[in-house]
Amino acid sequence: MANSVYTLNTLPPNYGDVDHWLGMSIPEARNDIAEGRDDIADGYKTISDLSKDFNSCLEQPSRIDIEDIVKRRFSPDAVIKLTLWKAEDAEPLVGTVKQYEIPRYLIGAFFRALLEDSLQSFSLRLLYSDRQHLPTPPSARAGPIVGYPATVCLAYANGIEVDMDGPLTVQLARCDGQDEPSCVITSLAFDARKHKVRAAIVDRRPRVPAERDWVINAFGMPPAAMRMLDMIPIMLPVIRMMGPNGLPVAWPGGAPWHNERRKYDP
């Protein structure tokens, strides 16, 4: 697999300036723009397919299905960087931001923690416009893909829905010699600067008390997923000793972040 990194950026002010293309001929410049647009489309397709894949296994999730998605969509050394901001009206104001790095071998565990919180749907919306987003000449493959703004939408079985807004940065590696997927994610960073929580009307009663008891915390996360994130620094040394292949399928006594049917207050 050969790494190729692509850039989405706003239309440069001197876009029409021939000198900006460092003497490239007009046909060469047109080809570079066209190729850049293809790469941008590949990036958005990769992100969209990731969202669809996770939604497809929500009804009957299994560890194997989730890990297969992670293996298919992320490179072996991939990492998710997640920044969570406390709601502006939350008290106290100390600890207003939390930053996490989720290595590839814990990405599946993070999504399973969301499933413990009865996640029903997951969607990711990115701003996309051929007119507004073009590769920055002349180094169209010298930086990450940036989509701004982005919205991550999470809906849970108890009727709670959360929209998290902020910039999303994705770095891709092209999969040479294969059609699907054409790219994999090497780094995904989401800065959830704002979140909105709302209670939707559901047509059924919660199945178990745990679905009624928990609340979304001040950072926009449900309890099991938040505990899992907070435990990453504790789990990493143990997992590194076991190796990624040693990550247990079933944790003794349940996963360390197991939902204990109580509200989680960071």
Q: Where residue 70 sits, what CATH number does that domain have?
A: 3.10.450.50
Q: Is residue 258 part of a domain?
A: no
Q: Residue 100 pairs with which residues in a beta bridge? A: 82
Q: Is residue 3 part of a domain?
A: no
Q: Where are the alpha helices (DSSP H) in the chain?
A: 26-56, 63-73, 104-116, 209-213, 223-242
Task: Report helix, strand or coil for 195.
Answer: strand
Q: Is residue 135 part of a domain?
A: yes
Higher pLDDT, 252 or 69: 69
Q: Are residues 185 and 74 in contact, defined by beta-carbon separation less than 8 angstroms? A: yes
Strand 183-192 with 74-85, pairing: parallel
Contacts (Cβ under 8 Å, ≥6 apart) of 173 = 1, 2, 3, 4, 5, 75, 183, 184, 185, 186
pLDDT band for position 182 (cuts 50, 70, 90): confident
Q: Is residue 233 part of a domain?
A: yes
- Please tell me whether the overall predicted TM-score, pTM, comes out greater than 0.75 for this model: no
- Please check the confidence at residue 127 and state whether its pLDDT lies above 90: no
Q: Where are the alpha helices (DSSP H) in 57-168?
A: 63-73, 104-116
Q: What is the mean pLDDT of residues 206-218?
A: 61
Condensed to tens digits (0 to 9), the pLDDT of residues 3-60 reads 333 333 333 333 333 333 333 344 444 454 444 455 556 667 788 888 888 888 887 7
E strand or H helix at 120: strand 119-126
- Please check the confidence at residue 80 and state whether its pLDDT lies above 90: yes
pLDDT value, residue 23: 37
Classify residue 258 by its DSSP letter.
-
Condensed to tens digits (0 to 9), the pLDDT of residues 134-154 reads 344 334 443 445 555 788 999
Q: Is residue 180 part of a domain?
A: yes
Range of the domain at 155: 9-246
Best-predicted range by mean pLDDT among 10-14, 74-78, 87-91? 74-78
pLDDT value, residue 102: 94
Q: Is residue 208 part of a domain?
A: yes
The number of CA neighbours under 13 Å toward the Cβ of 98 is: 21
Q: Residue 194 pairs with which residues in a beta bridge? A: 165
**CA dist., res. 24 & res. 27, Å (int):** 8
- Please check the confidence at residue 218 and state whether its pLDDT lies above 50: yes
**CA dist., res. 83 & res. 193, Å (int):** 8
Q: Where are the alpha helices (DSSP H) in 122-217?
A: 209-213
- Please check the confidence at residue 119 and state whether its pLDDT lies above 70: yes
Contacts (Cβ under 8 Å, ≥6 apart) of 265 = 217
Poorest-confidence range of 173-187, 188-202, 221-235?
Answer: 173-187
CB atoms within 10 A of CB 38: 12
Higher pLDDT, 200 or 144: 200
Task: Report CA torsion sign: 68, 74, 78, 79.
Answer: negative
pLDDT band for position 179 (cuts 50, 70, 90): low
**CA dist., res. 142 & res. 7, Å (int):** 7
Q: Is residue 197 part of a domain?
A: yes
Number of compact structural domains in the chain: 1
Q: Is residue 228 part of a domain?
A: yes
pLDDT value, residue 245: 55
pLDDT value, residue 8: 34
pLDDT value, residue 96: 83
Query: Encoding tokens for residue 76?
Result: 């072996």
- Please check the confidence at residue 264 and state whether its pLDDT lies above 90: no
**CA dist., res. 31 & res. 29, Å (int):** 5
Q: What is the mean pLDDT of residues 87-91?
A: 67
